[in-house]
Structure 1
Amino acid sequence: MPVASSSQLVAAARAAGRGLAAFNVITLEHAEAVVRAADATGLPVVLQISENAVRFHGGRLSGLLAAATAVAQAAAGPVSLHLDHVTDPALLRAAAGTAVSSVMFDASRLPYEENVRATAEAADWAHGHGIWLEAELGEVGGKDGAHAPGVRTRPDEAAAFVARTGVDALAVAVGSSHAMTERSARLDHPLIARLREAVAVPLVLHGSSGVGDAELRRAVRAGMVKVNVGTALNLAFTGAVRDRLAADPAVHDPRVYLAAARDAMAATAGHLLRVLA
């Protein structure tokens, strides 16, 4: 079927009061696992390619995007394509004319006024090319950051940011953190509710791999719509490969351990899809 539109999937999830899972993919096996899970659950999904993933593939978007597009087109249900954490305007512009319908443009590390200016320019370009734009305000953290109350997104600032930039969705800092390997994050649910009331656009939760099932369900009830997941898939992938090779050190055919990795990622994705539905 044709690749779906992220904006339509987000709007439908928001109207239904459920979360829309968006999974970061690094390899073909990631994309296949996520779509297998979406087909099994009958739920829509977003395949996300981050700027870091593009960098891993030699700085070229075309190969991984072509693979993800083919996997999305072969899916039984709606699958959209999204570029995640884009800081390079050239990568944003590379989305034009492809199956990518949405981009998360990340200028969150810049001072506030510079973030506003860069994001407004990105949104203006994106809208001129039919692309839905997500941005980030606050310090989600992870990798080299923290998730403390002092860096969380303020509702008043979020409302002003959305009004000045014209973005279509906003990733907010509410207690999650990127690259967490344990599901121990505690979200600020009252803050999510205040942010939902303060801004008209859908809210996005980054760093969701470190958030437990009950916390994710509460976050969706409080107002989160798009829920990004990356590390959870990588943990499943790597764990399955380690286990398969440990069980039989003589294995040398990558199809053997990549099949195990794909199965594990599909199980993880399927579970999270059901949690958010």
Structure 2
Amino acid sequence: MPQTPTAELIDEAREKHTAVAAFNVITLEHAEAVAAGAEQAGAPAILQISENAVKFHGGSLAAVTAATAAVARTSSARLALHLDHVVSADLLTAALEAGYGSVMVDASKLGYADNVRATADAVRRGHERGVWIEAELGRVGGKEGEPALDAHTPGVRTDPAEAAAYVAATGVDALAVAVGSSHAMTERTAALDHELIAALRDAVPVPLVLHGSSGVPDAEIRRAVAAGMVKINVGTALNTAFTGAVREYLAAHPTTVDPRKYLVPAREAMAGTVAHFLGLLGG
């Protein structure tokens, strides 16, 4: 099936008061698992490659993009292609030329004025190419080298009034907000600030994005969607399923050297995780 624009999936989800899930892709098996899980659930999904994943692949965007896009084309599910947490200006340029339907530009570590300036420039460049642009205000935290951040830490949560001004100043198409989740959580114990989510939904005209959803319990995700979250990012949960399946297989078959033997159950485990999250959102 032809690649589906991210904006199309997001707009449909907003109209139905549901959400669309975006799953991080690191290896080809990740992309194949997202496609398989989406087909199993009968739901659309977003294939999401991060700047860190690009670095893992030697800093070249071309190969991982081509492989992931090929998976989207050969799947019967409606799949979009998104580049996540882009900090590098060169990578943004490459993404705008590589056929991505959307890009998340991450200037959240900058001060407010610099964040606005950098994001507004990225939005201008993206819109010239017809690319949907997501940005972040507040600090989700938890990425490699960063501490996990609590929703109640001063200066961490996204302020609704500031968010409204930020969206107006930058022209972003979606806003990732800090409401209590954190990247790289391996236990699903995050408690979200649902009143803040509702306040942000009312304050800004663009869809809200929840990063770090792997650490958020099912019931909390459902409540977040009901309160106004439209894009749900999932990464670590796939890696947990992948690594767990590999460990289990190798423990039972310690002499195995053919990676296909353990990558098959790893891919299947990730596909099951994808289908689970999509089932949550579809419900």
- Give me the TM-score of the superposition, normalised by structure 1: 0.99
* Residue of 246, 258, 273 corresponding to 1:268: 273
Secondary structure in structure 1 of the residue aligned to 2:233: strand
Secondary structure in structure 1 of the residue aligned to 2:224: helix
What are the Cα deviations for residues 106-147 of structure 1, in whole angstroms up to 9, with x where unaligned?
000001100000000000000001100000000111131312
Asked if structure 2 preserves the Cα contact closer than 8 Å seen for 1:30 and 1:262, the reply is yes
The alpha-carbon deviation at position 97 of structure 1 amounts to: 3.6
1:216 aligns with 221
The alpha-carbon deviation at position 65 of structure 1 amounts to: 0.6
Asked if structure 2 preserves the Cα contact closer than 8 Å seen for 1:170 and 1:201, the reply is yes
1:28 aligns with 28
Structure 1 residue ranges without an equivalent (≥5): none
What is the CA–CA distance in structure 2 between the aligned matches of 1:176 and 1:47, rounded to whole Å? 21
1:186 aligns with 191
The alpha-carbon deviation at position 92 of structure 1 amounts to: 1.0
1:142 aligns with 142
What is the CA–CA distance in structure 1 between the aligned matches of 2:255 and 2:173, rounded to whole Å? 51
What is the CA–CA distance in structure 1 between the aligned matches of 2:270 and 2:9, rounded to whole Å? 22
What is the CA–CA distance in structure 1 between the aligned matches of 2:53 and 2:212, rounded to whole Å? 16
Secondary structure in structure 2 of the residue aligned to 1:136: strand
Q: Tell me which stretches of 4 or more aligned residues in structure 1 moved more than 3 Å.
A: none
Asked if structure 1 preserves the Cα contact closer than 8 Å seen for 2:120 and 2:171, the reply is yes
1:107 aligns with 2:107: yes
Secondary structure in structure 2 of the residue aligned to 1:85: strand
Query: Structure 2 counterpart of 1:23, which letter?
Result: F
Secondary structure in structure 2 of the residue aligned to 1:227: strand
The alpha-carbon deviation at position 100 of structure 1 amounts to: 1.0
What is the CA–CA distance in structure 1 between the aligned matches of 2:30 and 2:56, rounded to whole Å? 14
1:118 aligns with 118
What is the CA–CA distance in structure 2 between the aligned matches of 1:42 and 1:276, rounded to whole Å? 12
2:86 aligns with 86
* Residue of 142, 159, 173 corresponding to 2:178: 173
* Residue of 222, 232, 238 corresponding to 1:233: 238
What is the CA–CA distance in structure 2 between the aligned matches of 1:35 and 1:41, rounded to whole Å? 10
Structure 2 residue ranges without an equivalent (≥5): none
The alpha-carbon deviation at position 89 of structure 1 amounts to: 1.3
What is the CA–CA distance in structure 2 between the aligned matches of 1:266 and 1:147, rounded to whole Å? 30
Asked if structure 1 preserves the Cα contact closer than 8 Å seen for 2:177 and 2:208, the reply is yes
Identity %, equivalent residues:
62
Asked if structure 1 preserves the Cα contact closer than 8 Å seen for 2:151 and 2:193, the reply is no
What is the CA–CA distance in structure 2 between the aligned matches of 1:96 and 1:136, rounded to whole Å? 19
2:158 aligns with 153
What are the Cα deviations for residues 64-113 of structure 1, in whole angstroms up to 9, with x where unaligned?
11110000001112100000000011111112243310000000000110
2:68 aligns with 68
Query: Structure 1 counterpart of 2:203, which letter?
Result: A
* Residue of 147, 169, 193 corresponding to 1:164: 169
Asked if structure 2 preserves the Cα contact closer than 8 Å seen for 1:140 and 1:175, the reply is yes
Asked if structure 2 preserves the Cα contact closer than 8 Å seen for 1:3 and 1:99, the reply is no
Secondary structure in structure 2 of the residue aligned to 1:96: helix
Asked if structure 1 preserves the Cα contact closer than 8 Å seen for 2:151 and 2:178, the reply is no
Backbone CA RMSD of aligned residues: 0.7
**Structure 1 segment 3-82 matched on structure 2, within 5 A:** 3-82=3-82
- Residues paired across the two proteins, number: 277
Asked if structure 2 preserves the Cα contact closer than 8 Å seen for 1:245 and 1:257, the reply is yes
